[in-house]
Amino acid sequence: MRTLHVGLRVSDLEPSLAFYRAVGYTVIGTVETTPFGSLAMLALPGDPFVTIELVHDPARGTVDLGTGFHHLVIQVDSLEATLADLAVKGIAADPPAGAGRADGPQTSWITDPDGYRIELVQWPAGHAEGITTADFPAPADPARPPAAP
């Protein structure tokens, strides 16, 4: 089993497509008429699979994010280069966090036209291409007594 993609409802398709294209996504297909509205399927360069589906139904009005959705995460090769590229394209990003730490990720945040937050992550050299069990300390063994001070 694996997660295939996330569907994001958007208020206005054209500004959303412009934003996601500027981030680096490519539209690999569209479906014009569904019970949910029109769909635009997006993938990042080098990724053979759709990772975001933009869902646009003008009859539903503007998006209200509510409190259920928090954020998406995009892995980048170079956070510095990505932020410079986005700035040229008019996309503002939060200041990078974690910079200068060789053992941890560097991150920054951007926001799409509907208010969806996107975390940009650059993993340190040698890190897996995602979060794994290796990123968390091993749980304590309840059968082993605590170490003496």
The domains of the chain, with CATH numbers, are 1-58 (3.10.180.10), 70-137 (3.10.180.10)
Give the DSSP H or E segment for 118: strand 117-122
CB–CB of 96/83 below 8 Å? Answer: yes
One-letter identity of residue 22: A
Pairing state between β 6-10 and 26-31: unpaired
Provide the token pair at 133. 């069990």
- Which DSSP symbol is given to 104? S
What pLDDT score was predicted for residue 69? 83
What pLDDT score was predicted for residue 125? 86
pTM above 0.85, yes or no: no
What pLDDT score was predicted for residue 111? 96
**123: nearest Cα among 73, 71, 82, 76:** 76
- Which DSSP symbol is given to 146? P
Its sign, for the CA torsion 56, 62, 68, 69, is: positive
Residue count (the chain): 149
Phi and psi (nearest 5°) for 3? -75, 130
- Counting as low any pLDDT under 70, the low residues of the chain are 1, 67, 99-102, 140-149
